[in-house]
């Protein structure tokens, strides 16, 4: 069985597990430390999507956005405001929230595109704060510092509707999650996705292959914003609340770290990271008031010792075992134009790139 | 109206000087090591709390003004040498994330030690009241702060432009590889550079506490405007940070005078305008970071 | 009189107070191999970079097939039919040789922006194009290897194949021999000759090894300290006294 098939099976097993959970376990308690129920799992799935949005930009396109919480928050507020003022139903609220996030990215994208590297990150940070600030200050509309609460409308179309209680909501989240995950997978294996990954490794070379990398990065930005916005809208609908802190750089940082915890540049990394983060936070905050210290310490340790994240480290180890130690190639072949075997035996030292 | 302009301009310049100070500290660290120090605000806050603790144990304010930043430098350098140095050779994203983790830890630690609500920290009585200089009344505290900031900036400029070490530091920003090849101890350079950033943060932190009040999030409230200042002034340019800071401070105070509702968003508007006209910032170096 | 493919007219470029390139003009005919040579610091790489769109010159023009491309972004120049390599091979280190070439082939076939996977027949087209490129540089046996594991010379070959993947008319090579051993140099020289002889391409390359240049090029431009010292055929250049002087201490310039 090839590794790829193994991967598919693992993915399907994970999804199946997530699907069976409410039926089989209802809620799950461990030593009164961990209380796992559909609400927490919903949160986990949504944060995973948010982390996926960062992953698309960073793990695949090589651009570190420290402002994706802004899109997350735009999604939540978009949903909340549309319910509050326009009385829309669930699906419309979700779509409006997502659209708000997309609009945000469309507007600030051209600013961000002028720069790369840490200057790009700085700009995402600053523009993220612009949106935070708007949510904070526009208190007539948004409720200001205290945020705004709103009811969760029913899901309805064609005359049929249903109220979403927690279990139903969870299944809806699971469906959205699988859809987004699949879309993510399709994107990264497409020619577009391969080009994004090439940009991450060597943007200059991509340009010198005739491609306008700005166009690619802009699209990646907008898709990333859409994902984060969708997650935000649904999260707002989950907790029936939208708050300025959802847009703050601390939240952005959390999303980035979730991705790192699981493994940047892998498809399931953000999911694993979200599991670690949401469950870890739950356990730690049950144990102590000062959980932020431990979360911060977790981040620090991860960055220093496990930069590839849990899944990333695992996949890397598997790949190393499959391929063996890096094979060194001899010097250039001397044979003529027909396909030949390399001659010469000088081993060339292989440079391992620092992560 | 005109009578209000002068004090506004003055206050704006003071505020701007603060932002510039914090921005320079950030810039120094960013330019040399590509590290966006999200914990910079935490160091500001630390200095404030250290000064508060020193004063509450009987130290004079003046002594604390010197000692607290020094202690902050020590803590900062310790953190840099142990946690950040291993990350220099990696993608800059990691040092950013590390400082983010540190910021989270720091905020909670401050809450734990000094309480979540902030502590009263005021300047000594002699700095109260005001000095009249004919056309307007200057609050003594702000005058003092302005003086200290100006002197510190002058000292920094002196160090960077008139000493051999400062020259090496500036050269290293341009081309670290070449400097290393020429035999300079780059680790020492990084350490001193970070120490400078910490000194600036420490001083700003103590002064800001007297002006803004001291709470676990005090430093962070200066951090974001400082980033905006760096963007406006231009990456890679310390002078840009000064100009950017003063500009932002002035813009905020003038806007407070005429359009009070917009006084917080004005710096973002300024940032957007500058980015449209000159993406590298007012004095930014082209292509330093892509 | 052959068609002029690339022309530089009075190109100048300075950095701060330093003039790197001063008023250099060059005419590259279609189907020729053109070399730009000069001692270190002559400004040849800077000049090369203005031709390839890495720098925008401060003065003068760059004209490609009659079109003023002086300020044209680099990616657009590639779409017009130019292509280049770098002194240190600019490749995608984490990808296999095959995938390195895939990016360029996708670009050339206008598939890069697509979300949909190529159809089976398209995929066959792509694979056969990549195979053709691999065959040209004799890297077929390494096609699934990560390029990071390749020797420096093979990486350079891979990069040359990548520069061909976009179907260029003009290939710009930046010090293609840099860092190669003697035998490998010979190999690359053969590849360059084949670009011209077998593929009919126009080649412009930067080099500081006079022997290589005299052996390969049809025309040579010699730069010195940013200025054009001499321009002409190999025999003209090798008998040029000023050139000899600039290369004082260099190996004897043997005639072609």
Q: What is the pLDDT of residue C52?
A: 94
Chain C CB within 8 Å of residue A319 CB: no
Mean pLDDT of chain B: 88
Q: Provide, as residue numbers in chain A, all residues whose Cβ is less than 8 Å from the Cβ of B268.
A: 126, 129-130, 133
Q: What is the pLDDT of residue B179?
A: 77
Answer whether A192 sits within 8 Å of C181, measured CB to CB.
no
Q: What is the pLDDT of residue A2?
A: 81
Q: What is the pLDDT of residue C256?
A: 38
pLDDT of residue C105 exceeding 60, the answer is yes
How distant is the Cα of C63 from the closest Cα of chain A, in angstroms?
Answer: 18
Q: What is the pLDDT of residue A343?
A: 26
Q: What is the pLDDT of residue B233?
A: 93
Position A205 confidence tier, pLDDT thresholds 50, 70, 90: very high
Q: Provide, as residue numbers in chain A, all residues whose Cβ is less than 8 Å from the Cβ of C193.
A: none
Inter-residue contact A105 to A222 (CB < 8 Å): yes
Q: What is the pLDDT of residue C69?
A: 95
Closest-CA residue of C relative to A213 is C75
Structure letter (DSSP) for residue C183: H
Q: What is the pLDDT of residue A331?
A: 47
Inter-residue contact A115 to B290 (CB < 8 Å): yes
What would the DSSP string read from start to end of chain B? -HHHHHHHHHHHHHHHHHHHHHHHHHHHHHHHH----TTHHHHHHHHHHHHHHHHHTT--HHHHHHHHHHHHHHHHHHHIIIIIGGGTTS-HHHHHHHHHHHHHHHHHHHHHHH-TT-B-----GGG-SEEE-SS-EEEHHHHHHHHHHHHHHHHHHHHHHHSHHHHHHHHHHH-HHHHHHTT--HHHHHHHHHHHHHHHHHHHHHHHHHHH-B-TTHHHHHHHHHHHHHHHH-TT-HHHHHHHHHHHHHHHHHHHHH-GGGTTTHHHHHHHHHHHH-TT-SSPPTTS--
Residue-wise pLDDT tens digits, A305-332: 999 999 999 999 988 888 765 555 544 4
Q: Provide, as residue numbers in chain A, all residues whose Cβ is less than 8 Å from the Cβ of B114.
A: none
ipTM (interface pTM):
0.93
Closest-CA residue of C relative to A185 is C115
pLDDT of residue C254 exceeding 50, the answer is no
Position B269 confidence tier, pLDDT thresholds 50, 70, 90: very high
Q: Provide, as residue numbers in chain C, all residues whose Cβ is less than 8 Å from the Cβ of A209.
A: 75, 78, 103-104, 107, 162, 165-166
Q: What is the pLDDT of residue A32?
A: 61
Residue-wise pLDDT tens digits, B182-230: 777 888 999 999 999 999 999 999 999 988 889 999 999 999 999 999 9
pLDDT of residue B170 exceeding 70, the answer is yes
Residue-wise pLDDT tens digits, B224-256: 999 999 999 998 788 899 999 999 999 998 888
Architecture of domain C1-81+168-256: 3-Layer(aba) Sandwich (3.40)
pLDDT of residue A346 exceeding 80, the answer is no
Instruction: Show me where the domains of chain C are located.
Output: 1-81+168-256, 91-167
Which fold is adopted by the domain B2-117+138-277?
ABC transporter involved in vitamin B12 uptake, BtuC (1.10.3470)
pLDDT of residue A347 exceeding 60, the answer is no
Closest-CA residue of A relative to B89 is A354
Q: What is the pLDDT of residue A350?
A: 23
Answer whether A332 sits within 8 Å of C154, measured CB to CB.
yes
Cα B22 to Cα A205: distance, rounded to the nearest angstrom = 37
pLDDT of residue A344 exceeding 50, the answer is no
Residue-wise pLDDT tens digits, A50-106: 999 999 999 999 999 999 999 999 999 999 999 999 988 889 999 999 999 999 999
Q: What is the pLDDT of residue C71?
A: 93
Q: What is the pLDDT of residue B190?
A: 92
Position B257 confidence tier, pLDDT thresholds 50, 70, 90: confident
Kindly state the average pLDDT of the residues C136-164.
Answer: 93
pLDDT of residue B285 exceeding 90, the answer is no
Q: What is the pLDDT of residue B263?
A: 79
Residue-wise pLDDT tens digits, C224-249: 888 998 999 999 988 888 888 777 54
Report the b/e string of A321-349 with b at 16+ CB within 10 A.
Answer: eeeeeeeebebbbeeeeeeeebeeeeeee
Position A335 confidence tier, pLDDT thresholds 50, 70, 90: very low
Chain C CB within 8 Å of residue A332 CB: yes
With a pLDDT cut of 70, the percent of chain C lying above it is 96
Instruction: Show me where the domains of chain A are located.
Output: 7-319
Answer whether A118 sits within 8 Å of B38, measured CB to CB.
no
Chains in contact with A via at least 3 Cβ–Cβ pairs below 8 Å: B, C
- DSSP β-ladder status, C59-64 and B137-139: unpaired
Residue B128 corresponds to which tokens in the numbers above?
A: 């109260």
Q: What is the pLDDT of residue B290?
A: 37
Answer whether C117 sits within 8 Å of A191, measured CB to CB.
yes
Where in A91-245 does DSSP place strands (E)? 148-149, 155-157, 160-162, 241-242
Q: What is the pLDDT of residue A152?
A: 84
Q: What is the pLDDT of residue C133?
A: 96
How distant is the Cα of C253 from the closest Cα of chain A, in angstroms?
Answer: 27
How distant is the Cα of C107 from the closest Cα of chain A, in angstroms?
Answer: 7
How distant is the Cα of A346 from the closest Cα of chain C, in angstroms?
Answer: 10
Mean pLDDT of chain A: 86
pLDDT of residue A354 exceeding 50, the answer is no
Count CB neighbours of C191 within 10 A: 19
Which fold is adopted by the domain A7-319?
ABC transporter involved in vitamin B12 uptake, BtuC (1.10.3470)
Position A217 confidence tier, pLDDT thresholds 50, 70, 90: very high
Q: Which residues pair with A243 in a beta bridge?
A: none
With a pLDDT cut of 70, the percent of chain B lying above it is 96
Instruction: Show me where the domains of chain B are located.
Output: 2-117+138-277
How many residue pairs bridge chain A and chain B with CB atoms within 8 Å of each other? 122
């Amino acid at each position: 069985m090839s590794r790829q098939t193994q991967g598919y099976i693992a993915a399907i097993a994970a999804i199946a597990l997530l699907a069976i959970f409410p039926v089989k376990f209802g809620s799950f308690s461990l030593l009164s430390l961990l209380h796992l129920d559909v609400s927490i799992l919903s949160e986990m799935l949504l944060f995973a999507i948010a982390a996926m949005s960062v992953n698309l930009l960073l793990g695949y396109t090589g651009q570190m956005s420290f402002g994706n919480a802004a899109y997350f928050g735009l999604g939540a507020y978009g949903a909340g405001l549309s319910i509050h003022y326009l009385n829309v139903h669930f699906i419309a609220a979700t779509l409006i929230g997502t659209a708000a996030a997309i609009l945000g990215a469309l507007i600030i994208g051209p600013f961000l595109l002028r720069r790369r590297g840490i200057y790009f990150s700085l700009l995402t940070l600053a523009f993220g704060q612009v949106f935070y600030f708007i949510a904070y200050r526009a208190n007539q509309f948004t409720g200001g510092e205290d945020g705004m609460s709103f009811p969760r409308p029913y899901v309805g179309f064609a005359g049929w509707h249903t109220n979403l209680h927690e279990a139903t909501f969870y299944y809806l989240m699971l469906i959205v999650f699988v859809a987004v995950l699949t879309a993510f997978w399709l994107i990264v294996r497409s020619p577009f996705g391969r080009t994004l990954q090439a940009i991450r490794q060597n943007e200059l070379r991509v340009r010198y292959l005739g491609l306008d990398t700005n166009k690619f990065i802009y699209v990646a930005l907008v898709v990333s914003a859409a994902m984060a916005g969708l997650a935000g809208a649904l999260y707002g609908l989950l907790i029936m609340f939208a708050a300025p802190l959802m847009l703050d750089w601390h939240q952005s940082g959390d999303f980035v770290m979730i991705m790192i915890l699981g493994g940047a540049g892998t498809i399931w990394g953000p999911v694993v990271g979200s599991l670690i983060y949401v469950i870890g936070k739950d356990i730690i905050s049950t144990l102590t008031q000062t959980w932020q210290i431990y979360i911060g310490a977790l981040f620090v340790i991860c960055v220093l010792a496990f930069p590839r994240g849990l899944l990333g480290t695992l996949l890397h180890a598997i790949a190393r075992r499959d391929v063996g130690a890096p094979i060194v190639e001899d010097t250039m072949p001397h044979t003529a134009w027909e396909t030949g075997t390399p001659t010469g035996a000088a081993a060339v030292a292989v440079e391992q790139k620092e992560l | 109206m005109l009578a209000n302009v002068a004090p506004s301009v003055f206050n704006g310049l003071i505020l701007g000087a603060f932002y510039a100070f914090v921005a320079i500290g950030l810039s120094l660290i960013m330019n040399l090591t590509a590290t966006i120090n999200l914990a910079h605000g935490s160091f500001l806050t630390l200095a404030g709390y250290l000064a508060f603790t020193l004063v509450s144990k009987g130290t004079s304010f003046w002594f604390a003004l010197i000692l607290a930043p020094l202690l902050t430098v020590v803590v900062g350098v310790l953190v840099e040498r142990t946690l950040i140095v291993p990350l220099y050779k990696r993608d800059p994203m990691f040092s950013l994330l590390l400082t983010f983790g540190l910021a989270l830890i720091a905020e909670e630690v401050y809450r734990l030690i000094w309480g979540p609500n902030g502590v009263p920290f005021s300047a000594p009585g002699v700095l109260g009241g005001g000095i009249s200089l004919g056309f307007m009344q200057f609050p003594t505290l702000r005058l003092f702060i302005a003086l200290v900031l100006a002197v510190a900036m002058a000292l920094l400029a002196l160090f960077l432009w008139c000493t051999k070490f400062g020259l090496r530091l500036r050269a290293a920003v341009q081309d670290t590889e070449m400097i290393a090849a020429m035999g300079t101890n780059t680790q020492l350079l990084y350490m001193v550079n970070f120490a400078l950033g910490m000194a600036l943060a420490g001083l700003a932190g103590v002064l800001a506490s007297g002006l803004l009040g001291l709470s676990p999030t005090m430093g962070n409230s200066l951090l974001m405007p400082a980033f905006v200042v760096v963007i406006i002034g231009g990456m890679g340019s310390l002078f840009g940070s000064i100009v950017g800071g003063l500009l932002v401070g002035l813009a905020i105070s003038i806007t407070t005078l005429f359009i009070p509702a917009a006084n917080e968003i004005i710096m973002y508007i300024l940032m957007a305008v500058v980015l449209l006209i000159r993406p590298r910032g007012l004095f930014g170096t082209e292509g330093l970071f892509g | 009189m052959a068609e002029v493919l690339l022309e530089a007219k009075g190109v100048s470029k300075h950095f701060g107070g330093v003039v790197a390139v001063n008023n250099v003009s060059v005419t590259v005919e279609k189907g020729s191999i053109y070399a730009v040579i000069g001692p270190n610091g002559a400004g040849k790489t800077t000049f090369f970079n203005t031709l390839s769109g890495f720098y925008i010159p401060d003065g003068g023009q760059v004209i490609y097939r009659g079109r003023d491309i002086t300020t044209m972004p680099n990616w657009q120049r590639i779409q017009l039919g130019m292509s280049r390599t770098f002194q240190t091979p600019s490749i995608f280190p984490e990808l296999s040789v095959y995938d390195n070439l895939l990016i360029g082939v996708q670009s050339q076939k206008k598939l890069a922006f697509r979300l949909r996977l190529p159809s089976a027949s398209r995929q066959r087209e792509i694979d056969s194009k990549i195979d053709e490129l691999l065959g040209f540089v004799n890297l077929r046996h390494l096609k699934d290897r990560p390029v990071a594991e390749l020797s420096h010379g093979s990486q350079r070959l891979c990069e040359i194949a990548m520069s061909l993947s976009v179907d260029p008319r003009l290939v710009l090579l930046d010090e293609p021999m840099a860092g190669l051993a003697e035998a490998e140099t010979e190999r690359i020289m053969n590849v360059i000759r084949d670009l011209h002889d077998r593929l009919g391409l126009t080649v412009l390359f930067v080099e500081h090894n006079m022997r290589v240049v005299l052996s390969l090029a049809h025309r040579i431009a010699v730069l010195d300290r940013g200025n054009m010292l001499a321009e002409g055929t190999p025999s003209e250049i090798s008998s040029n006294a000023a050139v000899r002087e600039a290369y004082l201490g260099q190996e004897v310039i043997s005639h072609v």
